[in-house]
Amino acid sequence: MTCIVGLVNNGSVHIGGDSAASSGHSLTIRADRKVFRKQDFIFGFTTSFRMGQLLAHSFEPPERHAKTDVFAFMVTEFVNALRRCLQDGGFAQRHNEAERGGTFLVGYAGRLFKITSDYQVGESVDDLDACGCGEEIALGALFASRNSPPHERLTIALKAAERFSTGVRGPFHFETLEPTE
């Protein structure tokens, strides 16, 4: 299920996502959104609506101290708080002694990060990323539309994923995190 797309443009972070929930050959268009804002962060999730519900309604992102590097903050304090939230909410699972969460994009401090199920924090040098079953299609569309405005690029990517992936459906939802300075 899902296509979540994000990009950074002139210090703003933009994330868009679809509304599909799929399981096998079944598809439901959900009313609850996969893309949302929380404090100084914007999120777009895949993997599980339960994980997204915890991110939206239970997760309390920690505050970053001004002298702490943004990437270091995401890898340590942010992920540690995320793990506690997912554990407390009954979502984190253990497989072969390794803890697993889920995958989502998060915009913070003018940057776009991809958190994967092993809690790895990734940041693309291309200032764009995607996740979900429509990921590859969306990445190609984002790359090909690099001269278009941000919202248009996200829409093009989501429409391409909807057209060529069985697990992606509108309506599409968007959030923008403007620069803080």
Q: What is the dihedral of CA 125, 63, 50, 157, to 10 degrees?
A: -30
Beta bridge partners of 44: 35, 105
First to last CA, the chain: 36
CA distance 98 to 136: 27
DSSP conformation letters of 92-155 = -EEETTEEE---EEEEETTEEEEE-TT--EE--TTSEEEEETTHHHHHHHHHHTTTS-HHHHHH
Per-residue pLDDT band at 131 (split at 50, 70, 90)? very high
Q: What is the pLDDT of residues 132-170, one digit of tens each?
A: 999 999 999 999 999 999 999 999 999 999 999 999 999
Q: What is the pLDDT of residues 9-58, one digit of tens each?
A: 999 999 999 999 988 889 999 999 999 999 999 999 999 999 999 999 99
pTM comes to 0.95
Beta bridge partners of 7: 14, 128
